[in-house]
C-alpha cells in the first residue's frame, strides 16, 4: 500500500497557492470537509480533552498559544505556559456553532460566536461569524493538536491538513481506475 500511496501522490494535486492562512483555508476546506466531524462530536469523542495549539500565519510569532477545553465547559488560554485568561466554552449542536466566553472576575467580559469549519482528531478550525475580513480580522481560528503543531510552521500545518484530502482512499482508487483506463486505451490502440 505504501508504494501505491507514493505513486498516487505523484498524480495528486499540489496544495493550492495562497498568501495567507485564511486564503489557504478558503481553498482547501471545501476539499477536506467530507472528513470533518460535527460539533457534537467535540464532546462525544472527547476532543475537548486534546491540548490544542493555535496556528497563526505570522512568521514572527513563536509563542505557544495553547487552548485547553476542560470538563464542565471550562476554557483556559495560555501563552508559553502562562494562563492569560479563563473562560467558558459551549458547543451549539443544533447549529454546528461554538461559543467562547472570556471571563474576568467570574463575569463574561467577551463572548464570541464561531461556526465549525473543520474538526477531526488533529485539527479544530472555527470560522468567526460575520464578515471578519471587512473588519481587518482573521476569518479562521485554527488549532491543531499540540504534539503535531508544536514542530510545524503554519504552512506545514496547512500541508498536513491538506494531506487529509490527498491521502484519502477514494482518491487512490480514482488514480488506480484512471491508470487502468489508460492501460486499456493503450492496449486497444496497439491491437
**Residue 108: inside a domain, yes or no?**
yes
More confident residue, 179 or 65: 65
Q: pLDDT tens digit string along 137-151?
A: 899 999 999 999 998
Confidence of residue 130 (pLDDT cuts 50, 70, 90): confident
Tens-place pLDDT, residues 7-26? 544 455 688 889 999 999 99
CATH code of the domain containing 22? 2.40.128.640
**Percent of the chain at pLDDT exceeding 70:** 87
Number of domains in the chain: 1
Q: Examine residue 56 and state whether it is found in any structural domain, yes or no.
A: yes
H/E/C letters for each residue in 29-76?
HHHHHHHCCCCHHHHHCCHHHCCEEEECCCCCCCCCEEEEEEHHHEEE
- Domain holding 30, by residue range, is 17-168
Residue 185 lies in a domain: no
pLDDT bucket at 168, cuts 50 / 70 / 90: low
104: in domain? yes
pLDDT at residue number 12: 54
What pLDDT shows up at residue 10? Answer: 47
The answer as to whether 75 is a domain residue is yes
**Residue 107, CA distances (Å) to 101, 104, 111, 130, 134 in order:** 9, 5, 11, 24, 29
Is the model's pLDDT at 125 over the cut of 70? yes
In whole angstroms, give the CA distance from residue 123 to residue 36: 9
Residue 94 lies in a domain: yes
With bands split at pLDDT 50, 70 and 90, how would you rate the model's confidence at 1? very low
Look at residue 135 and tell me if it is in a domain: yes
- The pLDDT of residue 98 is above 70: yes
pTM equals 0.81
What is the rounded distance in angstroms from the CA atom of residue 138 to the CA atom of residue 57? 10
Q: How confident is the model at residue 42 (pLDDT cuts 50, 70, 90)?
A: very high
Are 42 and 52 within 8 A, CB to CB? Answer: no
| CA dist., res. 119 & res. 112, Å (int) | 18
89 within a domain of the structure (yes/no): yes
Amino acid at each position: 500500500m505504501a508504494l501505491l500511496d507514493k505513486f498516487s501522490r505523484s498524480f495528486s494535486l499540489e496544495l493550492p497557492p495562497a498568501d495567507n492562512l485564511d486564503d489557504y483555508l478558503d481553498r482547501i476546506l471545501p476539499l477536506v470537509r467530507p472528513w470533518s466531524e460535527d460539533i457534537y462530536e467535540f464532546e462525544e469523542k472527547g476532543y475537548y480533552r486534546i491540548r490544542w495549539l493555535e496556528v497563526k500565519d505570522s512568521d514572527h510569532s513563536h509563542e505557544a498559544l495553547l487552548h485547553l477545553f476542560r470538563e464542565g465547559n471550562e476554557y483556559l488560554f495560555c501563552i508559553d505556559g502562562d494562563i492569560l485568561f479563563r473562560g467558558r466554552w459551549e458547543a451549539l449542536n443544533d447549529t454546528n456553532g461554538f461559543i467562547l466566553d472570556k471571563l474576568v472576575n467570574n463575569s463574561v467580559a467577551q463572548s464570541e460566536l464561531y461556526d465549525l469549519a473543520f474538526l477531526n482528531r488533529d485539527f479544530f478550525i472555527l470560522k468567526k461569524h460575520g464578515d471578519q475580513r471587512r473588519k481587518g480580522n482573521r476569518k479562521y481560528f485554527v488549532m491543531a493538536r499540540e504534539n503535531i503543531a508544536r514542530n510545524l510552521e503554519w504552512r506545514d500545518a496547512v500541508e498536513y491538513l491538506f494531506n487529509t484530502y490527498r491521502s484519502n482512499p477514494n482518491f487512490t482508487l480514482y488514480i488506480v481506475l484512471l491508470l487502468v483506463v489508460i492501460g486499456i486505451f493503450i492496449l486497444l490502440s496497439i491491437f
